[in-house]
Structure 1
Amino acid sequence: MVLAAAIAAPAAEAKHIRPDLPWREQLVRILGTTLNQDQNPVGVVAEIVVTFVKRNDRRGIEITFDTEPGRFSYTSQAAVLLAIDRTARAAHLESDSWSVFVAVPSPGVTVYGESLSAMVGITVVALAKGDFIPSDRVITGTVTRDGRIGTVGGVPLKVEAAHEAHMHRVLVPEEQHIADGDWQTPFLMQVSAVGTVSEAYKALTGQPLQGDDHGDSLGQ
């Protein structure tokens, strides 16, 4: 599997999708934290758009991060690159003919940190396989080298933000961050601890990570 360098590009220049190439796109939610007016940490729900294109060549995966309307920090970009590569490997998929575009549709928003990366990695593989992630499901975490969901902080704040956004299922890393302490699940919300990217994929899409495509084929 060849991992090509990431590209940062304005939205108007980022997507050069040939009309003869098959592609899929999905808007998904991610969870994060920020500071409120009193400089106290709070959870937030943001949206990103992930576009998947299957090329006819095998020159290596190409991942483009749009720089407008919103943008991604370098830390977020690096984590997403690893998550896509590791999730594809866990799915036993060859990614060297993939082009992936990741965008923040909200003007002026910059996404920081690594906790979005598992969500992006799983979304890309879901698009490649023809699967779908319902809008009320989300995961916070990273993807480790051995295909596990890596620990992230601020989980209680993120879960509360997801609850306020009327999301019904949140996946969190099996291993809890030491700084998060004890916390309670909001009423009428399903919070599931997952250990591996395979478990997370099944919970988000309802389909197994490994196996045949479940939607319309994008060709070879």
Structure 2
Amino acid sequence: MILRQHGPQLLHHIKILKLKKNLDEHLNNLLTSPWVPENTFQFPARGKRNLRFQSQRQTLESLSDSLDIETSSKALSFLKSTLTSEFVVSLCLLANILQSTISVYKILQSPYCDLKSAVEHTEDSVDHFGNIQRTMDVKFSKIFITAKALMSQVCEEIHFPRVAPHQHYRSNYSTKDPESYLRISVAIPIQDDLINQLKCRFSDRKDLLGTLQCFIPASTTETVDAEPLK
């Protein structure tokens, strides 16, 4: 009699406890901070990034089984979005970009970095990403392999949509394989936008630096080899 009356409540409570246990296990991997006590950023190794991707998927799957309909619906929608080929390739590409800019980030955040040094380091970054853009065919092959490996760990595959006669809501490039499609539709636009953003955000500073240099005597900016003191 008691079990019949309170059976649904017990099942509800058991499901909540199971969900909480699963979330605790998965979120521990997601919440590991890359910051160290010295306030410096350490980019996670590839193995840790893969673990976080798996934990993210498992967390969203657990939430999609939630008893709350709204939470379940949003988690399922988010899960489907994160398992698309475009998202995973973008994730791998941005991981490479962040790894390449960590040193520049540290320099720009330093209190000893002046405007001239900031502009010079930014221009070096633009040149670096420009070289990558010119050799995108070779560079993207490595990123594509990483994305395929990441997708295989969650039992998914890289694919690309079919070409349609008319398409207004997604990319519609005619290519023979997923690698070419994702390079054209995802990698190149992201790389172009990154270069344009770097140029745009620091162009005003460069103009300001040029204006300031007009008021600085040339003798103070030239390096003179001083004779050693006798």
Output the TM-score relative to the length of structure 1: 0.30
Q: Which has the higher strand share?
A: 1
Higher relative contact order, chain-length normalized (CA < 8 Å, sep 6+) = 1
Q: Which has more radius of gyration?
A: 2
Output the TM-score relative to the length of structure 2: 0.29
